[in-house]
Copies of this chain bind each other. A is one copy, B any other.
């Protein structure tokens, strides 16, 4: 959204433009993917400008919906940065989003998925935002239930472990993983199991929503006053 600041004689402008960018992750094929849009010689984060009366996380959701055709499962604000370039002044609000890809690696509309361990050329700010989002996602795996937003309602413990391994980019011990997860108490066995190969079927689990504790480093109030934070 180019404002009419250009018509003023003042340079740089007297008020910043605000834009919202989203680092959207998904997990598949044992890897962590991020959605990037092709823009000229390099790739960039999906982004958009907020509308009046629209909360910032609403902008983030809209960007994902319009630009990628994807509805995120989880959204969390990361950081805001002010950037000045000749004749332009903008404040960027960065978000971290999580989504499911419908089973296989279905591409988003105007972007593609990239392995976070092998990113294409990007502008420096977007690259730093992505790196920071990865850092934060990895950190939050340890003390929140954020991983659940990368899985469908019902899942096996092996699938959950694969999500952890993809995000952390390292192997975990199966027994220790299961003990830790199960003793944390936010899993609920569905009673069902799933046969899907020439091996023993996997028991299925779902979440108990009450244990969604990830709020503690993200302001819980953001949604109440204007709706900054959403969870699915």
Contacts and interface: CB of A to CB of B under 8 A. Distances in A.
Interface of A is mostly: mixed
A117 B225 CA distance: 22
Interface string A104-127: 000000000000000000001100
Given A16-B50, A136-B217, A225-B125, A56 B82 contact: yes
A50 to B, nearest CB: 6
B14 A1 contact: yes
A80 B59 CA distance: 13
Number of identical monomers bound together in the oligomeric complex: 2
B1 A50 contact: no
B217 A139 contact: yes
Interface string A208-232: 0000000011111110111010000
A128 B221 contact: yes
B15 A3 contact: yes
A131 B221 contact: yes
Closest A-B pairs by Cβ, 3 of them: A128-B221, A132-B219, A12-B52
